[in-house]
Amino acid sequence: MVFAQADFGPYTGDLFVSVSGSNAGGGIAGSVDVLNSAGNTIAFLAEGTVGTPYDPRGLLFPDSTHIWSADADPSVLSATSSDFTPGSPAIPEPASLLLLGSGLACLALVRRRRQE
């Protein structure tokens, strides 16, 4: 985590957080999220694809116009404020997937019992 330096575009003073692509490491869908003072995700930098995974591990502002993100592969990605996408990444939380799976399993069980 690191706070943006002065003059880093619309994200000056916001908190930048590197989000791993996987709990086990080596994921492809990591991102760098920008949080405002209210704790809301206002922008993100997502670079990973199947051929080029992105699993950020650390952040550094070498100057007021660039942020460096250390990747687990190992490499360093250099980005500017214009490289960030406004909004929040559209990735479901693990708890949401667990709840959905539990609900579907319960529906299948109820349907099976009705057929007996």
Domain span at 28:
2-91
pTM: 0.68
Q: Is residue 115, in this structure, part of any structural domain at all?
A: no
Residues 6+ apart with CB under 8 A from 106: none
Summarised one tens digit per residue, pLDDT across range 34-82 is 999 999 999 988 775 555 677 788 899 999 899 998 887 778 888 999 9
82-108 pLDDT, tens per residue? 989 898 776 555 555 666 777 777 777
R_g of the chain, CA atoms, integer Å: 19
pLDDT score, position 60: 92
Confidence at residue 26, expressed as pLDDT on a 0 to 100 scale: 57
In a domain, 99, yes or no: no
- 50 domain residue, yes or no: yes
Q: Is residue 12 assigned to a domain?
A: yes
Is residue 106 one of the residues assigned to a domain? no
Helices and strands of the chain, counted as H and E runs: 1, 8
Within a domain: 100: no
Task: Give the number of domains in the chain.
Answer: 1
- Assigned domain for 96 exists: no
In a domain, 53, yes or no: yes
